[in-house]
Structure 1
């Protein structure tokens, strides 16, 4: 059974993602305070998550409370300070510190999307993945730097995936509308569709439909349709000998010139060139989802 503990790892290998430290503890002293621009241990990134109690973090002169279900991402060095203000209830936390270029990149990606404070349920995949990592270290004595690198990279992928899903939560009825629209676009990409026509098929106005797509897919209905058309064109170019203009027509492009323009935006080459470069692009299908 896991118990509160902390583990540190030290090596000089900067060629891989490395786990610097990981732990679970309950903070009771109001002296607990760390400033990101005044620490001797620099060059790592921090994930810290509240299980119970509450702490705080200041980032660029803005203060954020850290109640249960919230955590923060920070880089050292940077302008931040996290601390426990003292109360009757200890601040119970889990954390991990990582080193490596990829960790810095992922931290930048997630904080750009969510800000320095992230919200995840205690039963979320991200936290469940953390507990499994801690268990493997505590109980299976996993300490090999390469295995740990792979494990923490998997955890980071969970962080990225969950971050992308943060803005996607919507009601069952909204999800049903979105699914209906996506199904319709996948089945009718060859038709000359307009935004009004797509909205009519789903029974909502076009402005609401655009908001749903932006929230869930981070794109517009027409951009989603264009992705499906290009996917279909790539498959036809590879699987048939149809003339290029006929491929474009069958995939919903209203003119050969427009088809060529869009295709070059996606593939940085003409449809004819793509068809000729089977050795460089040996794919039967390409997907943009």
Structure 2
């Protein structure tokens, strides 16, 4: 098969899964930029995988690099933009655009499991299945919509299977990721920690971190962080004479009013009331974990 190839298919049959376009491309121009909420062609899903070089995608209010072995899954229309930024090495990609309810369902499933950015080795079953599909079109000249629909569905089954297998692998390592996040928050609760900071510390996507944390701890990472801050504040209120606002600041609350609001949510009283009610609440520490 030649180094680059791209094909598009057009039909109005909405009763089956249809291949919209497929290709292999090397990009070296900053003109390559696609915004998912501005495209005239709508109603399909996109899989795009990096073979070499580097591209970027803006999604969920963050910019994510797309190095070798990384792919994104998005829907059109949706709020995202993927693009090439001027550099020496071209961005070499393969892509697949699909239409149909089943494609949307499978995209939802994989994104729920892994987020919109996934990683796969170039020799994985998913990527090898892609090459078979492209070869079928490029060399065998298959254009029949039903044959293409069956082949695309087989590729999507490989995507689902690989996602499930990856989820099993992640389950083994997720406890260490969660513990790493929890330890960082316990040790640094006074800092202005954000999800981006926490995800970078753990080396994973912030959306994936939130899903892992919710599944394991039944609350979000930031909920966990607030609990550690309140625990620290309760101890300081009873064991120090620091002013209320200073206690809040030392425990990571950016304003006295916010500190008071969160404290009341947990203790049903103000920090000052808790400090004074030693007889009713004779605790130097209260733990929420």
Gaps of 5+ in 2: 173-211, 216-289
1:119: how far off? 0.4
Structure 1 Cα separation of the partners of residues 125 and 50 of structure 2: 16
The residue number in structure 1 matching 2:81 is: 81
| 1:145-176 superposed Cα distances (whole Å, 9 cap, x missing partner) | 00000000000000000001113238xxx8xx
SS at 1:16 equivalent: coil
Segments ≥4 residues shifted beyond 3 Å: none
| 1:187-238 superposed Cα distances (whole Å, 9 cap, x missing partner) | xxxxxxxxxxxxxxxxxxxxxxxxxxxx9xx9xxxxxxxxxxxxxxxxxxxx
The residue number in structure 1 matching 2:283 is: none
Whether the aligned pair in 2 keeps the contact of 1:2 and 1:135 (CA below 8 Å) is no
The residue number in structure 1 matching 2:113 is: 113
Whether the aligned pair in 2 keeps the contact of 1:57 and 1:83 (CA below 8 Å) is yes
SS at 2:168 equivalent: coil
Structure 2 Cα separation of the partners of residues 31 and 2 of structure 1: 24
Q: Give me the TM-score of the superposition, normalised by structure 2.
A: 0.58
| 1:241-289 superposed Cα distances (whole Å, 9 cap, x missing partner) | xxxxxxxxxxxxxxxxxxxxxxxxxxxxxxxxxxxxxxxxxxxxxxxxx
1:67: how far off? 0.2
Question: Number of paired residues?
Answer: 175
The residue number in structure 2 matching 1:103 is: 103
1:18: how far off? 0.1
- Report the aligned-residue RMSD: 1.9
Whether the aligned pair in 2 keeps the contact of 1:4 and 1:23 (CA below 8 Å) is yes
Q: Give me the TM-score of the superposition, normalised by structure 1.
A: 0.58
1:61: how far off? 1.1
SS at 1:168 equivalent: helix
Whether the aligned pair in 1 keeps the contact of 2:113 and 2:167 (CA below 8 Å) is no
The residue number in structure 2 matching 1:277 is: none
The residue number in structure 2 matching 1:141 is: 141
Structure 1 Cα separation of the partners of residues 64 and 38 of structure 2: 20
Gaps of 5+ in 1: 175-214, 219-289
SS at 1:143 equivalent: coil
SS at 2:106 equivalent: helix
The residue number in structure 2 matching 1:57 is: 57
